[in-house]
Amino acid sequence: MAAHRVSPSLNRLLFAVKYASFQSGGCAVHCNAQYSTVHSPSEKTFDKILIANRGEIACRVMKTCHKMGIQTVAVHSDVDSSAVHVKMADEAVCVGPAPTSKSYLNMDAIMDAIRATGAQAVSIYMALVTLCDCGRRHAIHSVYLIHMFIKTRVGYRTLAFVLLLGYPVMIKASAGGGGKGMRIAWNAEETREGFRFSSQEAASSFGDDRLLIEKFIDNPRHIEIQVLADKHGNALWLNERECSIQRRNQKVVEEAPSTFLDPVTRRAMGEQAVQLAKAVQYSSAGTVEFLVDSKKNFYFLEMNTRLQVEHPITECITGLDLVEQMIRVAKGYQLQHKQEDIPINGWAIESRVYAEDPYKSFGLPSIGRLSKYQEPLNLSNVRVDSGIQEGSDISIYYDPMISKLVTYGATRAEALARMEDALDNYVIRGVTHNIPLLREIITHPRFISGDISTNFLPEVYPDGFKGHQLDLDTRRELLASAAALYITAQLRSQKVLGDLSPVECSRWELYVQLEDGSHSVEVTKSGNVEVDGGKVEVSGQWNLASPLLPLTINGTHRTLQCLSRDASGRILLQYLGTSFKVRVLSKLAAEFNSYMPEKVPEDTSSILRSPMPGTVVAVSVKPGDPVAEGQEICVIEAMKMQNSLTAVKQAKVKSVHCKPGETVGEGDLLVELE
């Protein structure tokens, strides 16, 4: 990871724009583990705030605004006209077509919306604030904005410094975040490629293609400190968040507090974070990010002058509503708390739920419509921050985040157990999602013991994520559950259609096909199941109309999900977070099935298919061109991330089926080789 050693003098830090701050993120809060509020109705803040964000970020700000009696204005693109954040707002203004550069990052349209609605404050992306601050401050009047130049100035900008720094280096967008516009380079060729992709992603995502080059520190922890400061010289640190579980430099699972920090290190990091905020006269909620090595030395990474995606876990352990505090500070009020008032109460964990395929590079984007969506809010101490609902579309234009799933407990073990239950009870249909990966992470022995770093995923899954790996006991549980579900469905069909059998059956001999082969299963009506000679007891609520199947298997509670089933016995079951394809056959059907010819798998070495839905940015070959193994063939952009697709063998290009600017779907044929 890229980093800068913290200097006591903080000489590398630059001043911040002194205007009052309201730069925020987050999302709609549905929360059993609620934060407290100290807002006084007599404390006047703003009448109306325009929120120049979309999705869960906008929803999160609106929830606190409504609680404080503040009217909200949503802006939206034409494809977001029915989005949840638009429905939540008191007013809504369309600011352009779907691409962010033409809508949510369209400064002129945002400024027109501010003037037209008479908003007194604005929650806005940092890049847009930069544009406003550099030429349109006179047009904003009393709109409250913030911009800190740390991210655009700390680090090295020119390629000439790479040799001085030494490899590896981190190339990243100066206005970036969320892993977009970020690449690690280990040699000169990767540096050139990194510049190309990072600058294009940065321009597409943030409207700013400027880049930084920084020294990359291998195998650290990523720990950040939440700060809160006002315009009267007061600043607090609100403890830390452990953010080391990442893929492609984007956080996946976060927790607060960290298992790694002792009180002395925590205080040292917190005090230096506050020193930083005071040195630049910062006023608002912000996050100071550090890299921490195995000896608890910590290095300054960057400061994010906004509310981070992972802010809910800080709210859970401190009881503060950070959006409310930001609004108060923006209006000019002093902080209500002293440092000694800030507690660590319990433990909170956040899982970022994405519309992504975790089996492809730990998560390539998925698109589609949420045909079924049910958040696990039936469980206690669960909070779901989301900006979507059943029927919402996950499109190629925006970040594929579905929600931030947060669980809370008096101890870390309680929070982890609740997260496991929440992931099992989370119903998402219509898009591929990353719940299988999230569940495997939080149940992995290394994560449970706290033995983590930013290299956790590639170290634990060096060959890529493969889903939950079944052992003998869990395989029997899965097969027994599938067989019991099959028999339940059969009995229900007989009851609906009429039982044609003259004798009631109380025992069934079945064969259940799994990837590892066919298994003999015997089911009795009393719920006893025998799998390959081993006994399994299965009981529960067999409500086939419900997406959830709460079962007790050998005395252990399990929540399964039946994702699909058909008349041929094919069942797709979500078990321990992972989807498993099984096929349940009667003894006679299994015998007939053995005579069916097997489907020959496609030769994927001679074709290149799109691994995700997106837009073709570049095609580097034409028919007849020779290509070497590993040579770039084309580039696909999805959710503002550019992905280079390469040849898996030395060959000649037979045909090209795509061109720059075209939209492609997952699995579409792009190039054929011969």
Query: How many Cβ atoms sit within 10 Å of the Cβ of residue 526?
Result: 10
- At CA 43, angle to CA 39 and CA 49, rounded to 5? 85
User: Please, which residues bridge with residue 554 across strands?
Assistant: none
Which residues make Cβ contacts (< 8 Å) with residue 232, sequence separation at least 6? 334
Exposure class string for 528-542: b at 16+ Cβ within 10 A, else e = bbbbeeeebebebeb
Exposure class string for 124-149: b at 16+ Cβ within 10 A, else e = bbbbbbbbbbeeeeeebeebbbbbbb
Calculate the alpha carbon distances from 13 to 155, 280, 300 in Å: 11, 7, 11
Distance CA 33, CA 208 (A): 38
Residue 153 annotated as catalytic: no
Classified as helix, coil or strand, 481 is helix
Classified as helix, coil or strand, 667 is coil
| 246 torsion bin: left (phi>0), alpha (psi -120 to 50), beta (else) | beta
The answer to whether the beta carbons of residues 445 and 522 sit under 8 Å apart is no
Exposure class string for 79-96: b at 16+ Cβ within 10 A, else e = ebeebbbbebbebbbbbb
- At CA 274, angle to CA 268 and CA 279, rounded to 5? 125
Classified as helix, coil or strand, 40 is coil
Classified as helix, coil or strand, 517 is strand
Q: Which of 306, 439, 475, 583 is catalytic?
A: 306
Q: Give the active site residues.
A: 306
